[in-house]
Amino acid sequence: MPVVHLVRHGQASFGTDNYDLLSPLGGVQASAAGRELARRGVSAPMRTPVMVSGSLQRQRRTAEIIAGELGVDGARLLTDERWNEFDAHALVDSRLGGAGASGGLTSQEFQVELDAEMRAWIDGASTSWVEFSGGALEALRDIAARTPKGSDAIVATSAGVTAAVVGELLGLDAHGVIALNRVSVNASITTVISGSRGLSLLTFNDHAHFIGEGDLLTNR
């Protein structure tokens, strides 16, 4: 059956003028994830994985690094904006009163405000949340459908997208989705299988490839 690996992007550049850039550490994390996928045999001879990412810089660069570790031609990378992350900074700015209001927050302070705003967003069942989570789930169905039986797909995406998808698969409420988003590790791997009964979650937030490498373990 097709197997889809959702890889969270490596660490971005929180607190800088361009958060969307992959940090140097983020590049190292992405390489580690690529080597882990290679160890699992997703790029074995005659078994080239389907590879896709969102259009955000941090997602695209993560996919490129993973492709390099797997020996996959970068020209084969697909782009699907349904894998793009929601604008967390815009959500928190809105909560705090306007553009740039989140600029002085530490990562921990930012997370507290983000959790609260996500809860309001999801519990309010706003059209934008339904479109975001539903679009991500549909993107997952599409990539599973185009992946040959016995092959793998690799998707470079983000924590919020992965949390939304897993939340849909498990029927979680806002509290559950937020909890998943909060603990997501950069360059972790979430695996979904596609079988006769549809999509099933196999693993969430797997980051065993960082065991013994504590300096590689980050959440933003």
Q: Which tens digit of pLDDT belongs to each residue from 57-67?
A: 999 999 999 99
Mean pLDDT, residues 149-157 taken together: 94
Percent of the chain past pLDDT 90, that is, above it, reads 65
> What SS3 class is residue 195?
strand
Tokens of 65: 């690094």
Integer Cα distance of 93 and 190 in angstroms: 29
Q: What is the pTM of this model?
A: 0.92
pLDDT class of 143 with cuts at 50, 70, 90: very high
pLDDT at 66: 97
Contacts within 8 Å (CB) and 24+ apart, 205-213: 205/162, 205/180, 208/36, 209/32, 209/33, 209/35, 209/36, 210/29, 210/32, 210/185, 213/32
Superfamily grouping for domain 3-41+49-214: Phosphoglycerate mutase-like (3.40.50.1240)
Q: Could you tell me which residues come within 8 angstroms of residue 36 by beta carbon, excluding any fewer than 6 positions away?
A: 189, 208, 209
**CA angle, corner 179, sides to 164 and 16, nearest 5?**
80
Residue 195 β-bridge partners: 198
pLDDT class of 156 with cuts at 50, 70, 90: very high
pLDDT class of 208 with cuts at 50, 70, 90: very high
Mean pLDDT computed over every residue of the chain: 91
| CA distance to 9, 43, 83, 197, per residue, from 56 (Å) | 10, 24, 9, 32
pLDDT at 125: 67
Q: Could you tell me which residues come within 8 angstroms of residue 156 by beta carbon, excluding any fewer than 6 positions away?
A: 7, 9, 51, 52, 53, 54, 59, 60, 62, 63, 66, 83
pLDDT at 8: 98
Mean pLDDT, residues 69-88 taken together: 92
CB 192 within 8 A of CB 169: yes
CB 2 within 8 A of CB 144: yes
Mean pLDDT, residues 205-211 taken together: 95
pLDDT at 23: 96
pLDDT at 28: 97
**pLDDT for 6 beyond 90:** yes
Residue reference for tokens 């924590």: 159
